[in-house]
Amino acid sequence: MKIKNLIIVLGIVLVCSSVALAAQTYSVTAYVESGSGAIQAVLKPAEFTIAAGTTGTVTKFWWSDPKSGNSSEKLGYGGNIYSITQGRDWKDQNGNPIYQLPPGKYRFIVGGYPGAKGVLTYQVE
């Protein structure tokens, strides 16, 4: 009976460990809101952090600007990632977005008219 209980306990520990090591999925949302006076629009970026010892991967992007009728699922058109840690846009030498995110602080920004909205989904492992 003790061996059976030990096997059950070990099985539970293994299952819990594998769940803890699985990739976690997160989403952040950025907006463009109406400004006031001479300021027509105000960007409302979303900040997020990839913790030390982990790596992030962008898995999905969606942006829509209802006033202009434009939308995109391609990062770099309508939305960008800025590395706060490195102080630069998160793009390669050709201006293309980079989908791998090393540890650090990031800012997700969308453009467009007031009412525009973007969602960035990423996994952390």
pLDDT tens digits along 16-63: 444 456 899 999 999 999 999 999 999 999 999 999 999 999 999 999
pLDDT tens digits, 64-113: 999 999 999 999 888 899 999 999 999 988 889 999 999 999 999 999 99
Residue ranges and CATH numbers for the domains of the chain are 23-124 (2.60.120)
Q: Tell me if residue 123 falls in helix, strand or coil.
A: strand
By the 8 A CB rule, do 96 and 73 touch? no
Task: For 82-120, give the DSSP string.
Answer: EETTTTEESB-TTSPBP-EE-SEEEEEEE-SSTT-EEEE
Least Cα distance to 117 among 65, 72, 77 occurs for 65
